[in-house]
Amino acid sequence: MGTRSVREIQQALKDKGFDPGGIDGVFGRKTIAAVKEFQSEHGLHVDGIVGPKTSAALFGGATAAPLTDSGSATDGSILPWFEEAKNLMGTKEVLGSKNNPDILDWARDLNIEYAGDDIPWCGLFVAHCVGATLPEEALPANPLGARQWERFGDSTQPRVGAVMVFWRSSKQSGKGHVGFYVGEDDEAYQVLGGNQSDSVSLAWVPKRRFLSAHWPKSAANLTSSSVMKKRNEGLSTNEA
């Protein structure tokens, strides 16, 4: 079975009498609440995640769209935190004394003290994507610190949707970068992250800087795999 889009899930919930909010492709609080209500009424584990069992109950034997390498679970379910990350592609910080209010909202929603988007926000971006879509998932004590994500979730191999942690400047500097795995070639990982050239974007980060990969504990039932890609651009040099 291929992967389901968030919009397909929202439409299926609506068709079955559960209110996911707008059919907008955003796996937000109303959609999570609708999934939980559906799970409760169908005797499923209530976690708000559309894993294989929930997907089967929601869609029956219908066939989903073919799976592509754009980033989804290999069993036909979605990776909600990764879908949120993709939805935010193009979000940019505001240069100078002003701030992007969306980035400030991410911090406010998570009760994180954050002065402005001139402060590195790759960790905040990952925290928002995970926290907004996996409300039961524990975040690092200081999610603004990229290297704090080395303590997140369960260790895993690099695969689509995994949280990827890298060092910056030097391995001993304590500085880092964090984002989500999209793919790789022999030399680098393609990462979807915040604060990459001051925006949410794709970047190729050298494998020599890789520290660890992590998977949300509350999404242990979701699977994905690595993806080999052809790189047509240089390696990342601006992640802060």
Work out the pLDDT band at 160, boundaries 50, 70, 90.
Answer: very high
CA–CA separation, 26 and 36 (whole Å): 16
Judge whether residue 234 has pLDDT over 60.
yes
pLDDT mean over 35-54: 89
Q: Report the range of poorest mean pLDDT among 47-56, 126-135, 178-187, 201-210.
A: 47-56
Compare 168 and 238 and report the one with higher pLDDT: 168
Segment 147-175 shows an average pLDDT of: 96
Q: What is the pTM of this model?
A: 0.84
Residue 22 φ/ψ region, left for φ over 0, alpha for ψ in the -120 to 50 degree band, beta for the rest: beta
Please state whether 104 falls in left (phi above 0), alpha (psi between -120 and 50) or beta.
alpha
Q: Check residue 51 and give its pLDDT.
A: 81
**Mean pLDDT across 214-235:** 94
CA distance 101 to 106: 9
Which of 8-22, 67-81, 214-228 is the least confident region? Answer: 67-81
Between 73 and 33, whose confidence is greater? 33
The proportion of the chain whose per-residue pLDDT surpasses 70, expressed as a percent, equals 90
Range picked from 21-35, 71-85, 182-196 for highest mean pLDDT: 182-196
Mean pLDDT of the chain: 88
Contact partners, residue 183, CB within 8 Å, separation at least 6: 69, 160, 189, 190, 226, 227, 228, 229
The CATH homologous superfamily of the domain defined by 6-78: PGBD-like superfamily/PGBD (1.10.101.10)
Q: What is the mean pLDDT of residues 32-47?
A: 91
